[in-house]
Amino acid sequence: MDPILTILLPVFAIVATGYLAGRARVLGADGSDVLNRFVYWVALPALLFRAMATAEFDLAAAGRFAAAFTLAIGILWLASLLWSRAVWKLGLAEGAMHALNGVYANVGYMGIPLAAAAYGAEAAPFAITAALIVVGPLIAITAAMLEIAGKERVSVVTVAGGVLTALVKNPLVVSPLLGVAWGQTGIGLAAPIDTYLTLTGAAAGPCALFAIGLFLTNLRLREGLGEVSAMTLSKLVLHPLVTAAVVFWLIPLDPLAAKVAIFLAALPTGAGSFVLAQVTGVAELRTSSVILISTVLSIASVAVIFMVFPPG
């Protein structure tokens, strides 16, 4: 119970504070957007770069973790896509978003700072690896399917080029890769630069969590609650269960990596999913609903993970 009180409750207290601030309109209508831009373009890249530049990075362990985490996502994503097509009779685009919402964990904003707080600095490289998978291949594949579904004929080269361009411009992809490259040089970080990155990166967690609270004030429960319930069940229950099966039996990981993988899988659906839904105009209402419901209920899913796999 102590990890829940000392780590989990303060995290959700920050989210609740952001929600209350949003309801009181103390930061204005664009407060969430401004904070998210700061986290996305400044604070989180600083955190990711420093973590990867200074970490004792075991490429073999990270590769094994990436394979296990990706396999778990792939299994559930494909199963959810087929389920949505067969049961809900969704089209390819809506089915792809349904599948994405069931596996797109809020790794970047919640997972990285919370994993480090719960399981120590050694957990950061694994969490960052998971974030790269979520914002990289997962979003890329879903975006490609939405592109294909929106056109009768589509050039594979055009889709691949657009996805690659988006990834190259994504600071959450570029900054950790640059950090790894810098770390491999053996030069290290000068004290002023290290202090700057530490101070700036430290703002990522609180600002992101507060921004999530602000973001939730604009969400409302709408139509399609049956589908939303299925996506929430997939995200908070099936995702950690499938991940546990993979990391314990299919691709066994060391204890720390396994705990981090399962913990990250139990996180709620991330706001990045809504960004894709909003840009493409596909399943916007259902996506916003699953983000709201899964974020509220994730206090239970994460608490269960902390009880089964205690931090420390």
Structural domain spans, the chain: 2-308
The first and second tokens of residue 33, run together, are 């957007």
pLDDT of residue 241: 97
pLDDT of residue 224: 75
Burial group, residue 285, by CB count within 10 angstroms (0-12, 13-18, 19+): middle
- Angstrom distances, CA of residue 131 to CA of 36, 92, 93, 180: 16, 25, 23, 15
How many C-beta atoms lie closer than 10 Å to residue 216's C-beta? 21
Q: Tens-digit pLDDT profile for the chain (312 aa)?
A: 555 667 677 877 888 898 899 889 888 767 877 887 888 788 888 988 888 788 776 778 889 999 999 999 999 999 999 999 999 889 888 999 999 999 999 887 788 878 888 898 889 889 988 988 887 778 778 877 777 776 544 455 665 666 666 667 778 778 888 988 898 888 889 999 999 999 998 888 788 778 878 877 877 666 678 899 999 999 999 999 999 999 999 999 999 999 999 999 999 998 778 767 766 778 877 887 888 889 889 889 998 998 899 886
Whole-number Å distance between alpha carbons of 43 and 125: 17
The first and second tokens of residue 132, run together, are 């790269």
224 sits in the region (left: phi over 0; alpha: psi -120 to 50; else beta) called left
pLDDT of residue 152: 46
∠ Cα 272 70 251 (to 5°) = 150
pLDDT of residue 10: 81
CATH of domain 2-308: 1.20.1530.20
pLDDT of residue 292: 82
- Is the pTM higher than 0.75? The answer reads yes
pLDDT of residue 4: 61
HEC string of the chain? CHHHHHHHHHHHHHHHHHHHHHHHCCCCCCHHHHHHHHHHHHHHHHHHHHHHHHCCCCHHHHHHHHHHHHHHHHHHHHHHHHHHHHCCCCCHHHHHHHHHHCCCECHHHHHHHHHHHHHCHHHHHHHHHHHHHHHHHHHHHHHHHHHHHCCCCCCHHHHHHHHHHHHHHCHHHHHHHHHHHHHHHCCCCCHHHHHHHHHHHHCHHHHHHHHHHHHHCCCCCCCCHHHHHHHHHHHHHHHHHHHHHHHHHHCCCCHHHHHHHHHHHCCCECHHHHHHHHHHCCCHHHHHHHHHHHHHHHHHHHHHHHHHCCCC
